[in-house]
A and B are shown apart, each in its own frame.
Chain A
Amino acid sequence: MQLQPVQGDITILGIVSVDAFTFFSYLKVLGLFSIVIVTVAYATYAERRVSAFIQDRRGPNRVGPFGLLQPIADGIKNILKEETLPATASRFFFVLAPVLVLVPSLVTFAVIPVAAPLPTPWGVVDMVIADIPVGILYVLAFSSLAVYGVVLGGWASNNKYAFLGGLRASAQMVSYEVALGLSIIAVIMMTGNVTLTEMVWQQQQLGMWFAFPLSLAFILFVVSAFAETNRLPFDMPEAESELVTGYHTEYSAMKFSAFMISEFGHMVTASALMATLFLGGWDLPGTWDNAFWYQGQLIGGFAADGSPVAAQPAAWKTMATFLGFGAKTAFFLLVYIWIRWTLPRFRYDQVMALGWKVMLPTSLAYLMLVGGTILVLEELGVPYGFGYGLVLTAVSGIATFSFIFFIDRGRTITGAAAGPAQKIEIRSIGRERQARSADLPAKTALSGD
C-alpha cells in the first residue's frame, strides 16, 4: 500500500481526467457542507423535541414519523413567506447582515479534521478540507468576524431593541473571545503547534484526551463558547423578555432563517471544536486508529527507539472514527440544548462581570499553572505519555475543584453537602411558627428541645 498524499489524475467514466487532489477537495467540501447543513436542520428539530421532553410536552410530531420532516416543512415555509423590509431600515445593510452572519458560522468547519485518513488508489486522503498551517487561528479569525453580521443587523433595522441587541452581542463576543483564546492557549502549549490535525495527534500520543489534563481550560472553553454563540444562559443579545428578540426582531422569512441557521451553525462548529480540542477529535480509544503526517510519511506512532511506525489506514477505520467524531459533536449539541432549557438567563452586568472579572483572571492564572507544570515535567525528563498526562490531570483537577468551589461561594455545592442540616433548620422554624400560634403545652415542648 502506498502511504503518500493523494496525487495523480482521476479519470471519471473514462472521459474526463481531473487532478485527484482537486477532485477529493471538492468532494470533501460538498460532503461536509451537506452534512453540516443537515445537522443544523436536525439540531433545530432536536432542540424542539428535547425542550418538549424537558418540559413534559410532546413537541413537533405531526410532519412525518416522530415529526422528523419538520425541518423540511419549516424550510419550505420560510422560503415561501413574505419578506418584510422596515420603512426606516437602511436597505443595503439590512440585506447584507444575514449574509455576513451566515458565512463565518459555516466556513470554520474547513479546518476541523472529521475522521482518520482514508486510503484510496490515488494515495491517502486527509479527512479535513484544508489542513492549513494556522489551524485554530483561522477559527478564531472567522469567529471574530461573526460579530459584524449581528451588529449590522441590529443597527440597520433602525429599531432600538434590535440595536441594543446588536450592541450587547458585540460587547459580549469581544469580551468572551479573550477567555476563549486563552483557554485554547493551554491546548497549544500541550501540542506545540496550532494545527488541529496535530492537536488530535498529540492527544493520541498522550494516551488521554485533553479534557482530563486540561480540565479547567475545557470548562472555560465551554463557557466562553456558549457566550460566543449567544446561547442561553448568555443569550443577552436576543433576550425576549427585554428586547423582543434582539438583533433579528425586524427580520422575517428566509432572512430570519439565515440568522437561525447561523446560530445553529455556530453551535455545530463550537461542538465540533470542543470535541476536537478536548475530546480527541476523531480519535477513538486505543492506538489502532492513530495516523499523522510526520516528515512526509503517514505514521501511527513511534517505536521504543524513536523510529516512526507506519500507520495502517483503512476505509472501515475512517468510517468508525467519523462516527465517533459525530457522536462527540452530537453530545455537545445535546449539552447546548440541555443547558438552554435548564438554566435561567444571566443579567447583562453579570455576563460582563463573569467575562472580565472571573474568566479572564482564571484563565491567565491557569495558563501560568499549566505552563509551570509542563516546565517542571520537561525539566524532570518525564516522557510525553500517560504518566505525563496523569500529573497534569492531578494539577488541573485541584485547580478545577478550587475554581468551582470559589465561584460557587458556598451556594450550590456546600448547600447540597449541608442538606440534612438545612432540613433540620427548616423543621425547627416550622415548629417555632407552630409554637407561636399554639398555646402553652407546645411552648414547653419547644423549650425542651
Chain B
Amino acid sequence: MTFLFYLFAGLAIGGAIGVVMAKNPVGSLLFMVTTLAAMAGTFVLLEAHFLAAIQIIVYAGAIMVLFLFVIMLLNLGHEYKADLRGGAFSVLSFGLIGAIAGLLAPEISGAEAAPGPGAVAIDAAIAEHGAVGAIAEPLYTTYVVPFEITGILLLVAIVGAIVLAKREV
C-alpha cells in the first residue's frame, strides 16, 4: 500500500511538472492525463472508489479529450518557449511551492489519527448502500435541491454555448 501510494504520488507530481515543462502542447496534455490518473489511483488507495472512477470518466475521459480536440484543431505548430520562463516567474513559483509545503508539513507529520465520527458514518453508509449508493443516497434526498440547481446551471451553460456558437440566431 505504501509503495503504491509513493508510486501514484510520484506519478502525480512528475506529471504536474511535465505539464508545465513539456514543449509540445499534446505532450503537456498527456502529462495532465497522467496526473489525473495517478490522483484516481490515490483515491482508490483511500477507498474512495466512486471518486476515482468519476475522476477518470469526467476529467481524463471527457474534459481532457475535448482539450486534445481543441489543441489539435488549433494546430499549434510553433512552440511557446519564451512564455512564463523568466527568472522572476521561477522565483515566484518556487516561493509559492515552498510556502504551500511549509503550511502542509505540520499537518502531515503527525501520527495517524483515529477515524473521526465522519469516517465512521461514511463506513456505515458504504456498508449499507455500497460505494456508489453512499454518495447517491444523500445527493438525491438531503441535497436534492442544490443538486438540481447545479444541473440547471450546467444546462444554462450548454444553451449559452450553443447560442454563442450558432452563426444565425
Enumerate chain A interface residues (CB-CB to B < 8 A): 90, 92-93, 132-134, 137-138, 140-142, 144-145, 147-148, 151-152, 155, 163, 166-167, 170-171, 174, 177, 192-195
How many residue pairs at the A-B interface have CB separations less than 8 Å? Answer: 76
Contacts A92-B27, A134-B50, A140-B53 known; 7 new A-B pairs at CB < 8 A: A93-B26, A141-B57, A141-B60, A145-B56, A147-B61, A148-B33, A171-B69
Could you say which of B33, B61, B65, B126 contacts A141, with CB atoms under 8 Å apart? B61
Chain B proximity of A202: nearest CB distance (Å): 13
Determine if A194 and B132 form an interchain contact, defined as CB atoms under 8 angstroms apart.
yes
Q: Report how far A147 CA is from B69 CA in the complex, Å.
A: 11
The B interface, classified by DSSP as helix, strand, loop or mixed, is helix
| Known contacts A148-B33, A152-B26: A133-B130 contact under CB 8 Å | yes
A171 CA to B73 CA, complexed, in Å? 12
| B131 at the A interface (CB under 8 A) | yes
B residues contacting A by CB (< 8 A) are 24, 26-27, 30, 33, 49-50, 52-54, 56-57, 60-62, 65-66, 68-69, 72-73, 126, 130-133
Question: Would you call A151 and B68 a contact (CB within 8 A)?
Answer: yes
| C-alpha gap A151/B126 in the complex (Å) | 38
Are A167 and B72 CB-contacts (below 8 A) given A133-B132, A147-B65, A155-B26? yes
CB distance from A174 to the nearest CB of B (A): 6
With A147-B65, A148-B33 in contact, is A137–B54 under 8 Å at CB? yes
Can you list 25 A-B contacts (CB < 8 A)? Answer: A90-B24, A92-B27, A93-B27, A132-B49, A133-B130, A133-B132, A134-B49, A134-B52, A137-B57, A140-B57, A140-B61, A141-B61, A142-B56, A144-B57, A144-B61, A147-B61, A148-B30, A148-B65, A155-B26, A163-B72, A170-B69, A174-B65, A174-B66, A193-B130, A193-B133
A402 to chain B, nearest CB (A): 27
Q: Cβ of B132: which chain A residues have Cβ within 8 Å of it?
A: 133-134, 137, 193-194
Residues on the A chain within 8 Å of B33, using CB: 148
Q: CB < 8 Å: which of A140, A151, A194, A195 contacts B65?
A: A151
Interface-centre pick from A132, A140, A145 (highest chain B CB count, 10 A): A145
Interface-central residue, B27, B33, B53, B73, by most chain A CB under 10 Å: B53
Roughly how many angstroms separate A192 CA and B140 CA in the complex, as a whole number?
14
A285 to B6, CA, bound (A): 48
Are B56 and A144 in contact, with the CB atoms below 8 A?
Answer: yes
Closest A residue to B51 using CB positions: A134
Q: How far is the CB of B127 from chain A (nearest CB, A)?
A: 10
Cα distance, A148 to B138, chains bound together (Å): 34
- How far apart are the CA atoms of A170 and B61 in the complex, in Å? 10
Q: Which of A134, A140, A147, A192 has the most CB of B within 10 A?
A: A134
What B residues does A148 contact at CB under 8 A? 30, 33, 65, 68
Chain B contacts for A90, CB-based, 8 A: 24
- B residues in contact with A151, CB < 8 Å: 65, 68-69, 72
Complex Cα gap A92–B27 (Å): 10
Query: What is the minimal beta-carbon distance from A40 to any residue of chain B, in angstroms?
Result: 23
Which of B60, B62, B72 has most A Cβ within 10 Å? B72
The CA of A133 and the CA of B125, in the complex, are separated in Å by: 13
- Measured CB to CB, the closest approach of chain B to A125, in angstroms, equals 22
Cβ-closest chain B residue relative to A154: B72
**Lowest 5 CB-CB distances: which A-B pairs, in order?**
A144-B61, A133-B131, A141-B56, A137-B53, A134-B53
Q: Which residues of B contact A166 (CB under 8 A)?
A: 72
